Structure 1
């Protein structure tokens, strides 16, 4: 039987209260089938699980989620989680009236329409945050949670602003959203490999070793890794390293040699080359431009 969480169960979801709340969930194995009369934005911070959506026509859609994945659960949508492995995630739950005045602007984001639009896609779409972006989002979630908990002067304005900043970060994203095929389940060894890489992209990873650890052939491992991430293992590692380098260029004064080494690029010239391919500018010019933008804002 589906458990419906009433809007009257929490003060923040009462008609006269602020319709926004954060719930953190440490999932041991599973979360039973349930639904709720509000929207939910789920941000997986650690671990993995299988997410199941129960369609109105009785069909069941299942897909894997892993740390860094972000996806939406719509109002009244029945769903559950199974096969959790060290899963920890945040649920940002809200009612649609909270964002009524921003709705037109939010609809400019294709991912918003996929997450919360009127038409329900046959396939599920999720976005993915790099470790750097995930850390930034976590800081904003913690600040938002503090506002909601202590409710100081103007907390509604500050909380809504923080929520919009979180949404903007997710909706713009750093990668193309991942289209999950029907009943697509990522095997646990692949999920574990992705987790290791995301936790420490600067380390060295060897395809034969990872395939052997997963008890797969190199061809099978490569195919399944690409299905899970949209790219090869080496490309995935490179993208994560570049994202880390981008953050260090903006936030520190470390020289290029130091950044290259800290991000796992053991040749500075190669680091500059791949950075330019990805960002269409050199790391040095990127740093100058971002520093100038920051100075203009201050």
Structure 2
């Protein structure tokens, strides 16, 4: 299937500039595309669906992706989604540093290129990304060098503040980080906010308010999006029955699961799976 390829000359001010920042405040729905460059995606607020190489991710504040040039990705079902794309041409970087460690490349598995950022880390990074964005708007040699130095600082801070999306080992976690991690590991089992708040000695009302303020949706709605996103992934592989998919995604009733899925995406789980089975079969047949 054809897709859009974003051209370096449309985004970088000159052939010497190695970095540029595209602020998406808000990020609209964007069809499947690749690039001639790499990018970092930092989500500041809101929510949506990020499809990366046919793998769906429910995204909200604190999500971080390392995108390689050949990666196919798109944004769907966006809701007040705000993010920054830090675009960079790896071959133009002149500063001597361990870029392979800081910027996971094509030889790194996709699962190792998706992370979460802590709330304190996001506050620090917001200032640095803003400074980088300003410097990238200049083309003189000194500014180009300074933008690389700022980019290196951002890459180092990302490595310092990032953590695995499913990690429960975050010693300095704030309330929102703890809750988001708990929701991610509760996709196939019941979750009660009251029990979570009792366990961590948190105020449920203030936590719900904080969650809605930062993500743009309620806790239960976000958990449902996570479950539906997992269901999309399972349906694309086409192995389990609809009932088994529903069960693995926290739905006790497969009929209710089908209704919710249809309401969210305008297509039944069975039709969704058939669409991707046909696509995969067509790809295999053309090989």
Q: TM-score, normalised on structure 1?
A: 0.53
**1:39 maps to which residue?**
38
Q: Distance in 2 between matches of 1:19 and 1:208?
A: 41
The SS at the match of 1:149 is coil
Matches within 5 A, 1:19-98: 19-27=18-26, 30-54=29-53, 60-98=54-92
Q: Distance in 2 between matches of 1:96 and 1:208?
A: 41
Q: Indicate how the Cα distance of structure 1 residues 49 and 209 shifts in structure 2: closer, same or farther if over 3 A, else same.
A: closer
Q: Distance in 1 between matches of 2:118 and 2:71?
A: 27
| Mapped pair 1:107 → 2:100 | yes
Q: Distance in 1 between matches of 2:42 and 2:10?
A: 23
**1:137 maps to which residue?**
125
Q: Distance in 2 between matches of 1:208 and 1:22?
A: 32
Q: How many residues align?
A: 191
Q: Distance in 1 between matches of 2:186 and 2:22?
A: 26
Q: Do 1:35 and 1:76's aligned partners in 2 also have CA atoms closer than 8 Å?
A: yes
| Mapped pair 1:176 → 2:197 | no
**2:143 maps to which residue?**
155
Q: Distance in 1 between matches of 2:132 and 2:207?
A: 43
Q: Distance in 1 between matches of 2:185 and 2:76?
A: 11
Q: Distance in 2 between matches of 1:204 and 1:39?
A: 41
Q: Distance in 1 between matches of 2:132 and 2:139?
A: 10
CA deviations 1:126-172 (Å, max 9, x no partner) are: 22222322121111111111112245671112111111110001012
Q: Do 1:40 and 1:91's aligned partners in 2 also have CA atoms closer than 8 Å?
A: yes
Q: Distance in 2 between matches of 1:179 and 1:214?
A: 17
Q: Distance in 1 between matches of 2:147 and 2:208?
A: 46
The SS at the match of 2:136 is helix
Is there any run of 5+ residues in structure 1 with no aligned partner, and where? 55-59, 188-192, 228-298
Q: Distance in 2 between matches of 1:11 and 1:145?
A: 12
Q: Do 2:37 and 2:68's aligned partners in 1 also have CA atoms closer than 8 Å?
A: yes
Q: CA RMSD in A?
A: 4.0
Q: Indicate how the Cα distance of structure 1 residues 44 and 135 shifts in structure 2: closer, same or farther if over 3 A, else same.
A: same
Q: Indicate how the Cα distance of structure 1 residues 155 and 208 shifts in structure 2: closer, same or farther if over 3 A, else same.
A: closer
Q: Indicate how the Cα distance of structure 1 residues 64 and 42 shifts in structure 2: closer, same or farther if over 3 A, else same.
A: same
Q: Do 1:40 and 1:74's aligned partners in 2 also have CA atoms closer than 8 Å?
A: yes
Q: TM-score, normalised on structure 2?
A: 0.55
Q: Distance in 2 between matches of 1:153 and 1:99?
A: 13
The SS at the match of 1:123 is helix
Q: Do 1:127 and 1:170's aligned partners in 2 also have CA atoms closer than 8 Å?
A: no
Q: Indicate how the Cα distance of structure 1 residues 68 and 101 shifts in structure 2: closer, same or farther if over 3 A, else same.
A: same
Q: Indicate how the Cα distance of structure 1 residues 159 and 177 shifts in structure 2: closer, same or farther if over 3 A, else same.
A: same
**2:107 maps to which residue?**
119
Q: Indicate how the Cα distance of structure 1 residues 130 and 39 shifts in structure 2: closer, same or farther if over 3 A, else same.
A: same
